[in-house]
Amino acid sequence: MILFKFPVAFCSTSDETLNKDCIDGATASIVLTFGFYQSSCPEAEPTIFSWVEKAVSDEPRMAASLLRLHFHDCFVNARSFGCDASVLLDDMPNFVGEKTAAPNFNSLRGFEVIDAIKADLEYVCPQTVSCSDILAVAARDSVVLVSIYITGGPGWDVQMGRKDSLSASLTEANNNIPAPNSDVHTLLSKFQNVGLSLQDMVALSGAHTMGKARCFTFNGRISSGSNGPDVNLEFLQSLQQLCSGSDANATLADLDHMTPSTFDNEYYVNLLSGEGLLGSDQALVTGSVDTQQLVESYVDDMGAFFEDFKSAMLKMGSLASSENDGEIRRNCRIVNQFNK
């Protein structure tokens, strides 16, 4: 098995660690470390990669689903906990989980893949590898696997040492995760709320170069898109036809209809052609000169997109609980207190 490792440049206390205090005023004390499980569980990353590789081989769409799980996890309660695997929790006696939040319900996938990884790691290294670290590594591995044939494709060492949350927040999941019909102002506000910049926002949006979305997530694009400037009527009509069936809510469309299973910069090319699937995608071109210029730069230079995406993923992934908060769950769906 081959693990892909790439050097990274980031705000860091040393070559091996990243202190969250470096990130835009965040104050949690946790230090995430490269090679965190090298001694305690050297099998961790190879095991995660093996399961992700199998899942993506069985269903290529799973790569986008696992990446999205990490994203939706990190955006909830990000200032104090962030990437803490709260998204994986089922409803508990003392809280309602995040799986039924509007951005997640009947939408997030890949929970069974994470379950399988966790079960394997619990057998090899009991109560050692956090579910939140599994999510971060699985997201990286998913991107690597679908860009494996692209020269200079994105990959990065994942900093680890996160703890798993003891609770979840349905309210924050509903309020904090960007909606598919968001305008640029709303998108930027949600990203800045978790310490991410406009450039981070545009780069992370590039994750939509793979994966699918249901018709109800882009209905607004179909109904209102024909009223704006630089509209691609042919594209919108194709979406309208796709979603005109009796079971439209279950119908899926590719977020990037040109190269839907490859992590590349075609997503941005589509935006300049008026072929962004979601309203929040196309808004990056129509809603702001600053975001449009970044889109154009990523069209011209795929390597620049890859570098900015890696940096933004590290930055987002650094939103983690403090050393004294959380636990290492034995089952990613249940806090240990209820997992007897």
Percentage above 70 pLDDT, the chain: 86
Helix (H, G, I), strand (E, B) or coil at 44: helix
Catalytic residue among 70, 72, 185, 257: 72
72 is catalytic: yes
Rounded CA gap, 267 and 305, in Å?
A: 11
Task: Please state the rounded mean pLDDT for residues 223-251.
Answer: 80
Predicted confidence at residue 31, as pLDDT, reads: 82
- pLDDT tens digits, one per residue of 274-326: 999 999 999 999 999 999 999 999 999 999 999 999 999 999 999 865 555 78
pLDDT category of residue 1 using cuts at 50, 70 and 90: very low
Distant-in-sequence, close-in-space partners of 114: CB < 8 Å, separation ≥ 6: 66, 69, 88, 131, 134, 135, 138, 332
- pLDDT tens digits, one per residue of 138-194: 999 999 999 877 767 789 999 999 999 999 999 999 999 999 999 999 999 999 998
Predicted confidence at residue 151, as pLDDT, reads: 67
Q: Are 132 and 161 within 8 A, CB to CB?
A: no
- pLDDT tens digits, one per residue of 195-211: 999 999 999 999 999 99
- pLDDT tens digits, one per residue of 254-267: 999 999 989 999 99
Structural domains in the chain, sorted by start: 37-177 (1.10.520.10), 200-316 (1.10.420.10)
DSSP assignments along 178-206, one per residue: PPTT--HHHHHHHHHHTT--HHHHHHHHG
Helices and strands, number each (H, E), in the chain: 13, 4
Residue 78 reports pLDDT greater than 80: no
Predicted confidence at residue 339, as pLDDT, reads: 85
- pLDDT tens digits, one per residue of 7-45: 333 333 333 444 433 434 344 457 899 999 999 999 999
- Name the residue type at position 175: N
Residue 220 reports pLDDT greater than 90: no
Residue 48 reports pLDDT greater than 80: yes
pTM of the predicted structure, to 2 decimals: 0.89
Percentage above 90 pLDDT, the chain: 74
Round the average pLDDT of the chain to a whole number and report it.
87
